[in-house]
């Protein structure tokens, strides 16, 4: 399933019978898709740190994403698959996660643990208070 706007990569155009392209969808539907998914893949060659990765992690999904400067400050390369956005590397990472249950379980645990530690409202409030304390 591919969600969102943007161009379909050329290597995917021949896979239309195997891939469901949904385009833009509601937040409710997106949440349902995360819950029904086994892995989250973002093979983008140009991206800031997207909210979609945080949403997928909060849903307990293993993460496969492109190598981008700055991602390593938020994501641990030992628990997230960083790839070049090519069909070969993407496929290899997906297959590895599905064949290796221990790896998959470790990545799921990391996603949930990281979300609680870094993206909770309580943590965000504490970080904001630290910034205010420095300014005052």
pLDDT confidence of residue 45: 66
Contacts 24+ apart (CB under 8 A), 43-51: 43/9, 43/83, 43/85, 43/86, 43/89, 43/90, 44/85, 45/85, 49/74
- pLDDT tens per residue, range 80-90: 999 987 778 88
- pLDDT tens per residue, range 5-19: 777 767 667 777 778
CA geometry: angle at 47 spanning 13 and 17, to 5°? Answer: 15
Beta strands at 40-42 and 2-3: parallel, antiparallel or unpaired: unpaired
The model's pTM: 0.78
- pLDDT tens per residue, range 72-115: 778 888 899 999 877 788 899 999 999 999 999 999 999 999 88
Backbone phi, then psi, for 63, in 5-degree steps?
-110, 130
pLDDT confidence of residue 47: 60
Radius of gyration for the chain, computed over Cα atoms and rounded to the nearest angstrom = 16
Which structural domains are found in the chain, ordered by start?
Answer: 1-36 (no CATH), 38-135 (3.40.50.2000)
């Amino acid at each position: 399933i591919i969600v969102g706007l943007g161009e379909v990569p050329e290597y995917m155009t021949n896979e239309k019978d195997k891939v469901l392209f949904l385009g833009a969808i509601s937040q409710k539907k997106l949440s349902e898709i995360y819950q029904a998914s086994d892995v989250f893949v973002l093979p983008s060659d140009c991206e800031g740190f997207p909210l979609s990765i945080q949403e997928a992690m909060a849903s307990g999904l293993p993460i496969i994403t492109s190598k981008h400067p700055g991602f390593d400050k938020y994501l641990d390369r030992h628990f997230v698959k960083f790839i070049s956005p090519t069909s070969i590397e993407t496929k290899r990472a997906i297959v590895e996660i599905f064949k290796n249950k221990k790896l998959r379980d470790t990545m799921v645990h990391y996603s949930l643990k990281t979300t609680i530690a870094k993206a909770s409202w309580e943590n965000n409030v504490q970080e904001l208070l630290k910034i205010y304390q420095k300014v005052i």
